[in-house]
Every structure is written in structure tokens, then in C-alpha cells.
Amino acid sequence: MESHRPPIRTSADDADPRPARGKPLRLARFGATFLGVSVLSGVLLAGLVLPVAGGVGLTAKATAESFEDIPGDFKTPPLTQATQIFDAKGGLIAKVYERDRTVITADQMSPFMRQAQVDIEDARFYEHGAVDLKGIVRALGKNAETGTAAQGASTLTQQYVKNVNVEKAGDDKDAVKEAQRKTLGRKIQELKIAIKLEEDLPKDQILTNYLNITYYGNGAYGVEAASQRYFSKSNKDLTVAEAATLAGLVQNPTQYDPKLHPVAAQKRRDTVIDKMLENKHITADQAKEAKAAPLGLKYKDPQNGCITAKAGMGFFCDYVRHVVKQDPAFGKSSEDRKSFWDQGGLNIYTTLDPDKQAAAQNAVNSNVRVTDSVSAAASMVEPGTGKILAMAQTRPYGLDTAKNQTVVNLNVDLAMGGGTGFQPGSTFKPIVAAAALEAGLPTTQEYSAPNKLEYPTMKTCEGTWRNDGRPKTVVPNESPNEKGPYQLKGAMAHSINTYFVQMEQEIGLCAVKQMVNKFGITSKASGKPLEEVPSMALGVEEMSPLTMANVYATFAAEGNHCDLVAINKITTVAGKDVPVPAGHCDKVFSDDTAQAINTILNGVTVDGTGSDLNLEGNRQIAGKTGTSDHKKAAWFSGYTPQLATSVWLGGPAGGVEMRDIRINGTHFDEVFGATGPGPIWRDAMNQALRGTPKQSLPMADIPDPAPKPNPNSTATGTATGTGNGTNPPANAPSDQQR
């Protein structure tokens, strides 16, 4: 209702003969809002300090040339994307990312998506330059009416430049904050880049870049990730209603989150649909149908990291991450390799064989419960290539210790995400045998091998080791009945400790260490240097199952040692190949030695400590049992020509003595290599090799050893050490189980 009260007048008003209508107040408010919008949007004030041509057309060549050339990464910024890791048959293991984004091209985007984003964010995008002067005037008028600066006037190009700055800031919180500061200087800088960008790139490309970089909430960056997150479909398949829902999120992804705030999201969606109709980009019928549709969410929670990998594959996924971050093939420095991994956008095709992985995982799970005090781990390696085919353990990958989960990969060394390793016990003895045969000792080499033996003086690479302890260190055999003489084949079959100590004395500790190095082992699993001590022959240097699997793969490959390989191929999402480390193999011992080792280790499985571990179809196998001091670790490592597998069983932290223990519901007075890990090895190999042709191992003609050990002996072999990831003192007693 109109008031008839005369206006209140000031002295200044009295001097003005015109009727007072409150214009000064509105103008003052308009001016304040003018300044507020200019600062907040970075438009008009920025234009005032630019050349006149920039303020009018903002695309004139003279204006563009007055600016320094913009960085190339504003034209094609290296956006952080998701990386996908695949097994050897193309199955997805996991998706990992710093930011969940999949960059797509314009023709892979829904036309509705492109139009909806323009209509709601910058309807005159194709008509103006880097700055929309009409939009500024409209924003000023609107905000003058409300007395606020609620409506901005930044163009899509300006918003894109800001998003690039935020993307480049990465995880640096201070840099992100700086990129988002609404200061005049920053807005001017962004506008300068936007003007040059509009000259260098077509509008369609700027829009495509914008749609790939923008955040749509719930961890989804870019329209493809957003489409998958909210609707479980590719962006190109979106309906009008779905495209409008996503386009409406950009202004405030939290406020319009369709999962948490469906009413607000639907209202915002309908606003976008109205804008599309207003700009004649959809028909009235399309708008009506779209607004009548439910939100129709098919939401998928973010699936990020190795923790989301298929059952049992999380540890291998993490191993791949360590490979990329450590191998110089992926960058000269650790910072370069981290950046390469974090940048993502990779398709990594690995060596993991899903069938063999299932075989290994089934075997460990069938023989050891996740709630048992001990755990089991099994690694499979392909002889002659070094390819890692399987990596399984009973403790699942995860952070919930109440569910016995762990992120420690019990199969690998500390540097690759594992622990400090476990003493391999007598599974180490074949390395000593290989060193001796290469040194010229015959397969019929005989030693007195008494039941007990003081460690003798031995040559090292740099001097001499002497048994100077008081009392002197003594190594025993497992049973009082075990006393020589023995030859190599019989000593290996029954794992006679004193035999291998005498062999080690004859060839010297340096020869053993040099052979260990040829197998690619230059340190313990913990990364600490190998020690030249006599108990080395009995397996006190802590190793990981993957390391031992590759040792036995070398035996299976007739002395050809290959570097471990986890990655077959890497491509970018754009289809470009990324160079990967080439597999490298070396002949580390002769064919004669290889054939002799095959024969000797086959003897272990025929009439030795592993004689109960025959495979289906009577396949020819070779292998070795082993346990550590106090039964804190038990092993079986073995192979056929096609596959080498090493299985470890013990306490995850190394401190469980496997005596008077229940594992998988079965009571064990004490655990041996043949009774604990042996059945796991057998089950894994049977399933992994089922349906593959039988192959024979190249063998040497070695006469049966004499004399044979007492058949009633329960011996299975031992070595010095604590079995808990630490090296024993030089004078520690030895009771290493074979």
C-alpha cells in the first residue's frame, strides 16, 4: 500500500528541487555491491586494469599479446586420474587413485551433460569472451536489489582456470588455500590466463577440459567419475534428468548431494532443466518428462586402493605400488616415481595368474584358520621368467586387527611392504650344495658328519671366522641316530646339519655368500647385510617366501636366475605405452650343477623328509623341508619345471613356538616342514597344475648314498637361530628342524 507520509529530508535534500525517492541510498548500496561482486568474481575490477580492448572484447590479439604466454599445462593439464591394476588375464584387481577421475573426450560425453552444465553455469558461454560483461551487469543488478553479493559472474573459462590452480596444488593444503583466495591480484592473474586461453583453445575444448576437472562431490572428479558414482553408467549414456542432476552439483556438491539431500538435489535438478528449456536446448515435452522422473540414483561408494582388491589380491596390489615407487624405470628420483604413481591415469597389466592365485589362496585358507595363532604365506614364481604368479596369505589385507587383518605382506621383504622375514632353515641348504658343486666338489662328496660338531674355523670373503666362544658353539643333528659318513644326496634327503657345516668349511663362507648373491639375494629381508657366519648354511639369514620361491625357480630353470617381475605392461588411459622394466635372466650355475640339484632335491621327495608330498598324476617334483630354531618357522619350497612355490608357516611376528599347538583344528606335538607347510604346498601345486602337461626335470646320474640313515630316525634337520627375525649370537646352540 502506498504511503502518503512525506519523505524525511536532510539539508542536502532541501537544496535539491527534485522529489526525494531514495536514489542516493540505492546508488550507495549498488556501488558497494558493485565493488563486492568485482572482488569476489574477479571480473570488472580486473578489467579496469587491463587494456581497453580486453575490457570490451577480451579476445583481441593486441590484448592477448600484452600478456606473458600461459603455461602449457593450462591447455592440457596433467589431471590426476584413477589407475587400474589388472591380473594376467585382464581381470580388474583394484582401482587406486589420489583423485577418482577418468578423463574422457567430448564425443564420450553426453550432449545433455555438456548443455546442462553450460545452461546452469554460463548460458552465454559461446557468445562472450573470457569475461561476460552482460553477466556482470546482471549480477550487479541482482545483488544491488538484495544488498548481497550472492550472484557472481565468473565465466566457465575463469572457473576452469581456478580449478587448474587447485589441481596443481595437489595435497598441499596451503597451496590449495592460496589457489582459492578471493584476492584482486589472484583474480587478475586468473583473468589474464583466461583471456589467453580463449584465444588458444576452441570453446568446445575449454568446456571439455572443464567437465573433466570439476568436482561433483563424494570423491568424484570429472563427469565420467560422477556418472559412475551416482548412476553406475558412462556419461555418454545419461538421460536429461541425470545430466541435470550432475550439472546442478557443481555450485555446491554438499548442499545438493542427491544421496544425503535428495529433496534439495531434485529441486536443483529441476532448476537446471528449466534453464535448458529456457535456452531452447530441450523441448517442453523433454523438460516435462525429465522433471517427472525420480532421481533414480544407482550410487556406488568410492572404491579406492588395494583394500578394495579381490579376495587375497590386496597384498599383490600393494607390491605393485612398491615396484612403481622404487624402480628407476618409472622415474629417476623417488619424488619423480611418487609423482608418476599419484598422477595415475594408468592401466597396469600384471603377471598375477588368477587361477594360480586362487590355488595358493585356497591352500593357505584350507590348512590354516585366520584365527589361528600362526599364519601361512605362499608365493609362486614362473621358472625362466621370474614372473610372480601368486602371492597368498591367511591374514587378510586390511586395518581391522580385531578381524586379524594386516597390511604387512608376509610374502615379501620389508622394503616391499613386508616384515623382516623368517629363517628359512634347511630350505637354504640347496644353495650351499650348489656353491659346493660349482666349486668342483663331486655329487658323491662324503663327510664324517658326526652327530654333533663344533663349528670349525672357516674362510670368509675378508678373513677368517673362528669359533672362539666359551663354551664353543656346537651344531647337532636332529636325532642321536644321525651320524655319518654321508654323501650329498643322503645328507640332503635327511637334512644332516653337520654334513653341510663340513661342506661349508671346505668351500669357505665366501663361496656360499657369492652363490647367495647370484640368486639376487644381497641382504636379509629386513634390508640388513648378510652375515658370513657358519650357521648361514643352516638357514639363519631371514628371508621372505617370495625370495625363496625365486631361488627354487632358479633350480627349476636349470640355473637361470631371473629378476622378479610383477608388471607385464602399462598403458595410459589414452592408450600410450609406458616403458616397464624388462625381465633379466642370468645363468648362475652350470647345467651339470642344475641336473645334480634336481636329482638331489627329487630325492628329498622320494625317500627323504618330503616323501609324503607327492602330487596328483605322479608328477616329478623336487623340494626341501625346513624349520627354524624352536619351531618358530616351518617351510616347504619345491618345484616342477613349470612352477616354483615356497610356503612358510609360523607366527606373523615370529614369536610362536609350534609345539603342542592347534592349527586348523588339528593338534600338533610339534610342526615340521613336511607336516605344516608341506600339505599347503601340495594342495596349492595340485590345483595350480591341474590340466597342465606333466614335464620331467633334467636329472643327473647320482649313485645311492651309503650308508643309509637309520629308517627309524625321526630326524628332519635344524639350524642355529631364534626364528623371530633376529640373528643368533655366534655361540647359540643349534636345534634347527629340517
Higher pLDDT, 170 or 421: 421
pTM of the model: 0.81
> 738 falls in which pLDDT band (50, 70, 90)?
low
Distance CA 521, CA 561 (A): 11
pLDDT tens-digit map of 526-551:
999 999 999 999 999 999 999 999 99
What is the model's pLDDT at position 186?
76
pLDDT of 582 strictly over 90 = no
What is the model's pLDDT at position 189?
81
Higher pLDDT, 180 or 559: 559
pLDDT tens-digit map of 187-215:
788 888 888 889 889 999 999 999 999 99
pLDDT of 501 strictly over 50 = yes
pLDDT tens-digit map of 625-678:
999 988 999 999 999 999 999 999 999 988 899 999 999 999 999 999 999 999
Beta bridge mates, 221: 215
- If you average pLDDT over every residue of the chain, what do you get? 85
DSSP state string for 670-726: E--TTTTHHHHHHHHHHHHHTTSPP-PPP----PPPSSPPPTT-------BS-SSSS
> 113 falls in which pLDDT band (50, 70, 90)?
very high
What is the model's pLDDT at position 721?
33
Enumerate the H helices of 368-518 as residue ranges.
Answer: 429-438, 488-493, 497-507, 509-518
What is the model's pLDDT at position 430?
98
What is the model's pLDDT at position 461?
94
User: Do 353 and 390 meet the contact criterion of CB atoms below 8 Å apart?
Assistant: yes
pLDDT tens-digit map of 347-406:
999 999 999 999 999 999 999 999 999 999 999 999 999 999 999 999 999 989 899 999
Task: Tell me how far CA of residue 112 lies from CA of 105, 124, 240, 257, in angstroms.
Answer: 15, 17, 6, 20
What is the model's pLDDT at position 31?
42
pLDDT of 278 strictly over 90 = yes
pLDDT of 150 strictly over 80 = no
Rounded percentage of the chain residues whose pLDDT exceeds 90? 70
pLDDT of 9 strictly over 80 = no
What is the model's pLDDT at position 287?
97
Higher pLDDT, 173 or 302: 302
Task: Tell me how far CA of residue 181 lies from CA of 186, 294, 344, 395, 500, in angstroms.
Answer: 7, 38, 28, 47, 72
Beta bridge mates, 77: none
pLDDT of 184 strictly over 50 = yes
User: Do 78 and 339 meet the contact criterion of CB atoms below 8 Å apart?
Assistant: no
Q: Identify the H or E element spanning 376.
A: strand 375-381
What is the model's pLDDT at position 168?
81
CATH class of 56-292: mainly alpha
Which of these ranges, 2-6, 204-208, 581-585, has the smallest mean pLDDT? 2-6
C-alpha R_g of the chain: 36
Q: How many CB atoms lie within 10 A of CB 699?
A: 16
Query: Average pLDDT for residues 134-153, to the nearest whole number?
Result: 54
Q: At what angle do helices 509-518 and 429-438 cross, to 10 degrees?
A: 100
pLDDT of 576 strictly over 70 = yes
User: Do 510 and 460 meet the contact criterion of CB atoms below 8 Å apart?
Assistant: yes
pLDDT tens-digit map of 53-83:
333 344 434 344 445 556 666 777 788 999 9
Q: Is the peptide bond before 471 cis (omega within 30 degrees of 0)?
A: yes
How distant is the alpha carbon of residue 232 from its chain centre?
24
pLDDT tens-digit map of 230-270:
999 999 999 999 999 999 999 999 999 999 999 999 999 99
> 153 falls in which pLDDT band (50, 70, 90)?
low
What is the model's pLDDT at position 54?
39
Give the DSSP letter of residue 646: E
DSSP state string for 125-166: TTTS-SS-HHHHHHHHHHHHHHTS-------HHHHHHHHHHH
User: Do 535 and 721 meet the contact criterion of CB atoms below 8 Å apart?
Assistant: yes
What is the model's pLDDT at position 565?
97
pLDDT of 506 strictly over 70 = yes
User: Do 631 and 737 meet the contact criterion of CB atoms below 8 Å apart?
Assistant: yes
Which of these ranges, 105-119, 394-408, 558-572, has the smallest mean pLDDT? 394-408
Task: Tell me how far CA of residue 502 lies from CA of 244, 320, 345, 507, 601, in angstroms.
Answer: 80, 41, 56, 9, 19
Q: Is the peptide bond before 456 cis (omega within 30 degrees of 0)?
A: no
What is the model's pLDDT at position 78?
81
